[in-house]
């Protein structure tokens, strides 16, 4: 598994989202995902949206995925 594939899966599963995925060992990854779909949702619900884009890869090919999930407005406020 590589970071580029995970990024593509997240971005295709959450249309309009931007994902920055990193991971050097092929099983542990961290991602920052910016998506309008996160608006009004608590962190756990946001993470579930991301996990749903990865399906069975979670806990299999992807052993761990640390997530930061932001709306576009939250991301802009951090810049």
Q: Order the strands of the 18-22 sheet from edge to edge.
A: 18-22, 28-34, 64-70
What is the β-pairing status of strands 18-22 and 28-34?
antiparallel
What is the total count of domains within the chain? 1
Residue 34 sits in a domain of what CATH number? 3.30.300.90
Convert the pLDDT of each residue in 11-41 to its tens digit: 999 999 999 999 989 889 999 999 999 999 9
Residues of the domain holding 57: 3-78
Output the pLDDT for position 3: 95
Output the pLDDT for position 37: 98
Write the DSSP symbol of residue 23: -
Please check whether residue 13 is in contact with residue 33, taking contact to mean a CB–CB distance below 8 angstroms: no
Return the exposure string of 36-49: e unless at least 16 CB atoms fall within 10 Å of the residue's CB, then b.
ebbeeeeeeebbeb
């Amino acid at each position: 598994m590589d970071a580029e594939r995970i990024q593509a899966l997240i971005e295709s599963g959450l249309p309009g989202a931007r994902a920055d995925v990193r991971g050097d060992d092929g099983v542990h990854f961290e991602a920052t995902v910016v998506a309008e779909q996160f608006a009004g949702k608590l962190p756990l619900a946001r993470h579930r949206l991301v996990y749903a884009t990865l399906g069975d890869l979670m806990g299999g090919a992807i052993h761990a995925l640390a997530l930061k999930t932001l709306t576009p407005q939250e991301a802009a406020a951090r810049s």
